[in-house]
Structure 1
């Protein structure tokens, strides 16, 4: 899972500060006050999506242009960097995200702020395999909530004002929303809520909705059944009145044969409606409408042909006039094809002039065009004769149809009565048809089918409720926390810490650590000295992460802690040199050994004043020593 390979800072001039860390072990950053140690946690949080840059205002914020992390996911590396901001802004909304594993830190020119916060959350959450959890609601139901890795970073950071705080146990727990987030998500991270339970909860929700829908159908069917006899009696009376049922049949109606009588009336109504389709008046009306459309079409065609004929007459007259003038002067003979005959001297020319040839060709073109015009005029005249004949036929047919309608309307009293009766029977028949359709869906067989499906769903729902019962999930969560508390208890007893004689466990309602004793429950805030608060913060977080690792949970595999020795060295100075130094040394040795027992699966980053140059175990885990005169997070040449 995810550990931190290095922190990379960029100055505004493009200078690079590279802070590498070892994977799978304790990394100590030691130095005096005001060297930038505490800013390391803020930088980690900022690069991983914090909504505010938490580094101290002043040198660090003014000097750093970009903050970056190279992350390691079981050998796969990812580089994320985020621009810094001045004190007038909370944070940059953009990130640079690229593959890591570089042999040389990329220069500032390569950084492109092109990714948003959601891109970062989705990318890292997907690599960790973080899914969703179930959140109980006030109505007793549970809702599905998608998670990101940010909900798990709570367990990976302990700031200076948190590591020894008797009232807080987790990072940012003073924020009520964060405390609620721990209560909501810790069961998921512990493994009490898995994807199978979430899938079953979704199935349970779908089955409950289906059951509610079916119950509504069943209730509606029962209501329709209760009203059916009254509605049927009313429809039978209507059917009798309009002639769909004979009077003797209507009078013989009983609750047992109502349905049968209505079916007979509906069938008779349908046959009457079908007969209406052959009504002669309707046929004649449709015929006249069709003939009227045909007549309009013929009139439009005749108008177009007459307009075309008029245009052709003008073309023919103009061309023929030119031809007539030439012919009347007899300047050009019909047999003079080549234009070699001179109309003045009546002799053949050896080389005819161009004008003579042009006149001859023009005359030939006129003759050719006039031939086409004559042909077109003939065709147009024939088409006009045909369309006019068709128009006459249509007018005759329309006149005949109208005459027939007039004859029928002489008997209109009977016809109107028939139409009104037919409309009434059609309306009543439609009402009967709708009633029969509704009645069929609320029949005994359908109600029995609905009841059987509802019963089957109830059985499935009860089974799913048992499998996903949130009470049992709470019990499971408490059991897991009890197991983790057992580990904390054994560690505390081995270390000889106070409040280790009872059973130490987490109370998720806080959330905080408690000590269950024969005399009652002792809350974490009453554990006593700062020494106990620091130790139990360390034990609690290490026990949680050990559980996460053993269960393969999708959590961050590092813990960053600022100033764990502060209760012994306030301001960086020892209060009781020998005792305090040995207690701090014991803290570091315990963290080193516990981290080593996790076989490289976990990383601890500690920033502290403590320094033990004569202790090989401590020295071998120092990643950065800033006790030298120029040692600091921000190099002197950046300022």
Structure 2
């Protein structure tokens, strides 16, 4: 045997009570029984023993059992995984037992369990036994550890519970859970043998680094936009210090770092108590400069208004000239006549003179139009120059106004001080406070070049082209197995004799109709019978491919109630089954299960069912437990006492 199978599932109760369900390796195993006997709990029990976060066992099981375990077998190797069952009202238990060896006995009490450990350590033990990972996870990043392949992702290829087997959207167990689906999708290339665990972690880290780079670049742009406020406040403080003789005024294009250095130098200065108050003549000079600027601005505005008026008048004049020219074009009709009237052909010197006069007027009008066209571009250029000059003068005026405001504020503050030294101390206090509130401006974010180098290094390690080729090959193989299996199962339109194509990201099935070659999505199948056939075929196709590549997934499949589309309201024994179309369809499913299981090496199937086919020798031989209401038998016997914590 080359793949892990389950030999036993067992429950422990009070007083040394033990319930053991033995399964045969590499075969179909069937558990049948009435509703409420605990059949569906078996999937949850196996899942719980593989490290699920929440114990979803039925209330009756929690009240009457104290522990559950699963015995796994791989050739001579054995492994027992067990969990303490929490009392009703408690979600889970972090206490786990994992042991491995040969000829392991099934414990009959908690004290006989070996390998007590934590939940996380227990899952790591199971992963090493299954072969998941292959290399130690040396990453310290929580995001990388979060997305590495685990035993929790492997359950997607083993469990087909009733909430999945007829699902119209979710193909695999866990894909309908928002918190589990992303990791299952992320690690699917690993389980399909396309990438290693290292590659999965590197791809996850690459995505995280790209997101981080985008975030840091956005934050850098925000800091650069906010830097103008820092620069404005820093310049005000330095202008105050300059007027008091504490520093030189920095240039207008000084960077934030230069301004910060200048403020730090001001902060370290010693106060000179012999200094003088700011020069009063500076304010007068600023006002004079402001009046001059206002005069220049007004002159420029008048010139602009005159230029705009000239352009407007020129436009009207040009229209009048054009209309006049059009009227005078009648002279062109008089051109052919020489010395005769065009009406009576009588010689006429007067007509010739009139035609010449009109042509002369046309020349004058045409020259005026040309003059307008020559002058217009110069006026337009002149207007543009005036607007640029106005913008420059207004910007300069703003600077002068800012300096006047700063001078007045500084002067008012200086008057409130006893002497200049006190003002110096006040100013330096403001500088210190500003620097403390802005300790590092611009804020020293991460080195984006380092991030870019890390991204480039990871991109060089990940061969996306090779990965794409291998993933496509794996999907093609699975699709081939899937279509072959699907052809053996009962279906209805539009899936009769259809081909199926499997894609891994996102996990999806394309249904290709036989005659029309129309490509349909999974929701288009439209029938529980079709969904059932698709999920069964996909489960066996994936297991066949996983077995072929020796993937770290146990050779184990469990199906919960595949007969529901055929017997939704029927009883559970053979007396309730008549030979009709539904029974024939169900028998085709059973034929496929037995045949497909036999064809795959070391594949074990557990079928949980209501229906019982007593006339099928294979079904009878494969039935390990048959519970019904008349016998009172169930997964947890009804005579088991309640656990002490539930009394």
TM-score by length of 2: 0.54
Q: Aligned pair in 2 of structure 1 residues 577, 62: CA closer, same or farther (>3 Å)?
A: farther
After alignment, is 23-32 or 482-491 more displaced?
482-491
Deviations 1:506-554 (A, max 9, x none): 2334423221456543111111211111111000010001000011111
Question: For residue 428 of structure 1, what is the aligned residue in structure 2?
Answer: none
Question: For residue 80 of structure 2, what is the aligned residue in structure 1?
Answer: 79
Select 2:475's aligned residue among 478, 481, 492. 481
Question: For residue 504 of structure 1, what is the aligned residue in structure 2?
Answer: 500
- Matches of 1:204 and 1:69, distance apart in 2: 38
- Matches of 2:145 and 2:608, distance apart in 1: 40
Question: For residue 526 of structure 1, what is the aligned residue in structure 2?
Answer: 524
Q: Does 1:613 pair with 2:614? A: yes
Contact kept, 8 Å, 2:12 with 2:66, in 1: the verdict is yes
- Matches of 2:146 and 2:57, distance apart in 1: 35
Secondary structure in 2 matching 1:485: helix
Deviations 1:187-230 (A, max 9, x none): 1111111469679989999xxxxxxxxxxxxxxxxxxxxxxxxx
Q: Which runs of 5+ in 1 are unaligned?
A: 134-141, 206-457
Question: For residue 568 of structure 1, what is the aligned residue in structure 2?
Answer: 566
Secondary structure in 2 matching 1:28: strand
Secondary structure in 2 matching 1:80: strand
Secondary structure in 2 matching 1:68: strand
Question: For residue 15 of structure 1, what is the aligned residue in structure 2?
Answer: 17
Question: For residue 493 of structure 1, what is the aligned residue in structure 2?
Answer: 487
Question: For residue 515 of structure 1, what is the aligned residue in structure 2?
Answer: 511
Shift of 1:81: 1.5
Deviations 1:298-333 (A, max 9, x none): xxxxxxxxxxxxxxxxxxxxxxxxxxxxxxxxxxxx
Shift of 1:469: 2.9
Matches within 5 A, 1:19-38: 19-38=21-40
Q: Aligned pair in 2 of structure 1 residues 77, 572: CA closer, same or farther (>3 Å)?
A: farther
Select 1:185's aligned residue among 184, 187, 192. 187
Question: For residue 146 of structure 1, what is the aligned residue in structure 2?
Answer: 148
Contact kept, 8 Å, 1:36 with 1:633, in 2: the verdict is yes
Deviations 1:464-491 (A, max 9, x none): 9688332542343233112211221122
Q: Aligned pair in 2 of structure 1 residues 466, 68: CA closer, same or farther (>3 Å)?
A: same
Deviations 1:99-136 (A, max 9, x none): 36557532203236831112211111111221179xxx
Matches within 5 A, 1:354-365: none
- Matches of 2:178 and 2:104, distance apart in 1: 44
Question: For residue 174 of structure 1, what is the aligned residue in structure 2?
Answer: 176
Select 1:116's aligned residue among 112, 115, 118. 118
- Matches of 1:90 and 1:196, distance apart in 2: 34
Larger Rg: 1
Question: For residue 557 of structure 1, what is the aligned residue in structure 2?
Answer: 555
Question: For residue 409 of structure 1, what is the aligned residue in structure 2?
Answer: none
- Matches of 2:202 and 2:527, distance apart in 1: 47
Deviations 1:57-111 (A, max 9, x none): 2x22100111111111333111121111122211110112233655753220323
Contact kept, 8 Å, 2:148 with 2:187, in 1: the verdict is no
Q: Aligned pair in 2 of structure 1 residues 112, 193: CA closer, same or farther (>3 Å)?
A: closer
- Matches of 1:467 and 1:96, distance apart in 2: 39
Matches within 5 A, 1:247-258: none
Matches within 5 A, 1:65-464: 65-99=66-100, 101-102=102-103, 105-108=106-109, 109-111=111-113, 114-131=116-133, 145-194=147-196
Q: Aligned pair in 2 of structure 1 residues 195, 172: CA closer, same or farther (>3 Å)?
A: closer
Contact kept, 8 Å, 1:32 with 1:572, in 2: the verdict is no
Shift of 1:614: 1.4
Shift of 1:147: 2.0
TM-score by length of 1: 0.54
Contact kept, 8 Å, 1:33 with 1:571, in 2: the verdict is no
Question: For residue 236 of structure 2, what is the aligned residue in structure 1?
Answer: none
Secondary structure in 2 matching 1:81: strand
Q: Aligned pair in 2 of structure 1 residues 143, 613: CA closer, same or farther (>3 Å)?
A: closer
- Matches of 1:575 and 1:471, distance apart in 2: 54
